[in-house]
């Protein structure tokens, strides 16, 4: 996997100050995508254990609330193994931090196996606190929305959703 950039101090992609990883590679090609250069799977730098260690160092700062995964597309089949390795290490070394992920896939698509091996996708989802799902649709763009670009996208509380079997939206008052 390659990554486009790491933002060590991001306040736009989840609550509080976060570390954001923008992975490379996306087949959605949403019109008006804000990060079209990251569609290319070879864009940016190779993602290595050293990259993970740098992210973990940023996350250990006390004012950092968590990690956000964006893209590109973190759930492209080629990206999932490396992203899973990262979130497992984050859970081990920074268990008090939250993990958010943005995906152009819907949760239903992710759970159905349309995005690669179901076991890997389910393992990845099990480590997330929040999933912002659905493609960006420029016709539904709404600048007043918190943490998403278009009104079709949902902010899903993943632990509650996986526990109940029904989509539970994240409490936006948090």
User: DSSP character for 117?
Assistant: -
What pLDDT does residue 134 have?
Answer: 95
Strand intervals (E) in 30-151? 45-46, 64-70, 98-102, 130-133
Residue 95: pLDDT band (50, 70, 90) is very high
Task: Please tell me the distance from the alpha carbon of residue 1 to that of residue 81, in angstroms, as a whole number.
Answer: 9
Hey, what are 72's tokens? 């590109």
Task: Please tell me the distance from the alpha carbon of residue 53 to that of residue 37, in angstroms, as a whole number.
Answer: 25
3-state secondary structure 88-139: HHHHHHCCCCEEEEECCCCHHHHHHCCCCCHHHHHHHHHCCCEEEECCCCHH
Residue 34: pLDDT band (50, 70, 90) is confident
Hey, what are 2's tokens? 């390659």
Task: Please tell me the distance from the alpha carbon of residue 102 to that of residue 133, in angstroms, as a whole number.
Answer: 6
Domain boundary assignment for the chain: 2-164
Q: In the predicted model, is pLDDT for residue 83 greater than 80?
A: yes
The CATH number that domain 2-164 falls under is 3.20.20.70
Mean residue pLDDT of the chain comes to 94
For 123-162, what is each residue's pLDDT tens digit? 999 999 999 999 999 899 998 999 999 999 999 999 999 9
What pLDDT does residue 172 have?
Answer: 80
The lowest-confidence range among 6-20, 78-92, 133-147 is 133-147
What pLDDT does residue 173 have?
Answer: 75
What pLDDT does residue 116 have?
Answer: 83
Task: Please tell me the distance from the alpha carbon of residue 131 to that of residue 106, in angstroms, as a whole number.
Answer: 9
Residue 36: pLDDT band (50, 70, 90) is confident
Q: How many residues does the chain have?
A: 174
- Round the CA-based radius of gyration of the chain to a whole number and report it: 15
């Amino acid at each position: 996997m390659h990554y486009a950039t790491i933002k060590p101090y991001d306040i736009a992609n989840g609550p509080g100050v976060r570390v954001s990883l923008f992975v490379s590679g996306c087949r959605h090609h949403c019109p008006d995508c804000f990060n079209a250069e990251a569609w290319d799977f070879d864009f940016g730098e190779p993602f290595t254990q050293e990259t993970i260690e740098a992210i973990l160092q940023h996350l250990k700062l006390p004012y950092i609330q968590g990690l956000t995964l964006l893209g590109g597309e973190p759930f492209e089949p080629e990206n999932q193994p490396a992203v899973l390795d990262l979130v497992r290490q984050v859970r081990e070394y920074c268990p008090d931090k939250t993990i958010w992920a943005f995906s152009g896939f819907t949760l239903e698509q992710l759970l159905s196996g349309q995005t690669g091996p179901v076991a890997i996708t389910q393992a990845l989802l099990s480590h997330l606190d929040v999933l912002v799902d659905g493609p960006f649709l420029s016709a539904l763009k709404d600048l007043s929305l918190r943490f998403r670009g278009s009104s079709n996208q949902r902010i899903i509380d993943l632990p509650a959703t996986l526990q109940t079997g029904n989509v539970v939206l994240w409490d936006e008052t948090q």
